[in-house]
A = this chain, B = another copy of it.
Amino acid sequence: MRLGIIGLGKMGSNIARRLLNNKHNCVVFDLNIYIIKLFEEYGGEITFFFKDLLKKLYTPRSIWIMLPYGNITAKTIYQLIKYLNTGDTIIDGSNANFKDDISRFKLIYKKGINYLDVGVSGGIWGLSRGYCLMIGGDQPIFKIHTYIFESLSSLEKNIKFSIFNKKDYIYCGNTGSGHFVKMIHNGIEYGMMESYAEGFNIMRNHKNLNLKNISEVWIHCSVISSWLLYIIYIILKKDENLYNFIGYVNDSGECRWTINTAIEKSVSAEVLTASLYSRFRSRNNNNYADKLLSAMRYKFGGHIE
């Protein structure tokens, strides 16, 4: 299938490469000219101008956007709405807020343009291992693009769970559903990451244990075996002391939206919230609160700290 791809960052370039490896026909564009040039070796049709990309595609055109969440994605979509025609399709593969999809969709729909929101999991491993895709939008439009999804998703199957022989992409429902499910996916990811981090932190503070070996032995058949644990093993094998990291942890938005959604629905999400707050803490964001506690202790108890 012929596909336009806008955005050649870590995720975008790997997606383009995986599609090229699977004999798809990709026309790529990025705002950064150097990144475009670097991509040349992978064999896609590179374009240096937004409008060139549009011209090089055949009607009905399909364009996959893979840009950071926020203004840049919004702007690009509004530009596309301007230049695309009835029957063309915009695929937003970024980590967007599902509410943006829904509000954005009305505009897109008015012009007869199709829209798919696709949550993509797999990280930088996806190029070789394949991606897990969660897709929202009109089902017929989803179906038209199954070749793309098929190629992006995983080929290798886990023999341990050999009953599985289905594809690794899923149609979740109407517009926003793909990003919604991806949002929850990432919320869960935060909780799992923090679960491991806390456990290893307690072990580290307790006594001399070989954390690398422990992470390894847990991978095979313990109840907590997972892909993230495998990642931890690779990390600890290289450096159990984590000297290359200072412990400043960012977040990319989805866990915030997950919590907002939980609160909207009046359900609690203690663990997911604690995971997000733990990252805020790593950035020392509560310093004024801590200072105030210290000041109170001094003022009523005479404690100096």
Contacts and interface: CB of A to CB of B under 8 A. Distances in A.
A223 B154 CA distance: 13
A71 interface: no
Contact of A282 (B131, B221, B273, B293): B293
Centre residue among A187, A195, A242, A275 by max chain B CB count within 10 A: A195
A132 interface: yes
A212 B256 CA distance: 25
A207 B207 CA distance: 36
Interface residues of A, number: 133
Contacts of A161: 219, 230
A156 B223 CA distance: 15
A107 interface: no
Contact of A172 (B200, B209, B229, B247): B209
A144 interface: no
A214 B170 contact: yes
Contact of A224 (B126, B189, B248): B189
A48 interface: no
A57 interface: no
- The copy count of this chain in the complex is 4
A228 B231 contact: no
A217 B123 contact: no
Interface string A271-305: 11111111111110111111111111111111101
A265 interface: yes
Specify the main secondary structure of chain A where it touches its partner: helix
Nearest to A168: B220
A134 B305 contact: no
Nearest to A277: B268
A168 B279 CA distance: 33
A40 B244 CA distance: 57
Contact of A280 (B166, B229, B266, B300): B266
A278 B287 CA distance: 11
A249 B198 contact: no
A215 B195 CA distance: 20
A35 interface: no
Interface of A: 10, 121-126, 129-134, 153-154, 156-161, 164, 166-170, 172-173, 177, 180-181, 184-185, 187-210, 213-214, 216-232, 234-235, 242, 244-250, 256, 258-263, 265-283, 285-303, 305
Please list the 5 inter-chain residue pairs (A to B) with the smallest Cβ-Cβ separation, ordered nearest first.
Answer: A191-B195, A226-B226, A247-B290, A268-B277, A132-B222
18 contacts: A129-B221, A132-B225, A164-B216, A169-B217, A172-B214, A187-B198, A187-B199, A192-B192, A194-B293, A198-B268, A224-B226, A242-B294, A246-B291, A249-B297, A260-B260, A260-B263, A267-B289, A268-B281
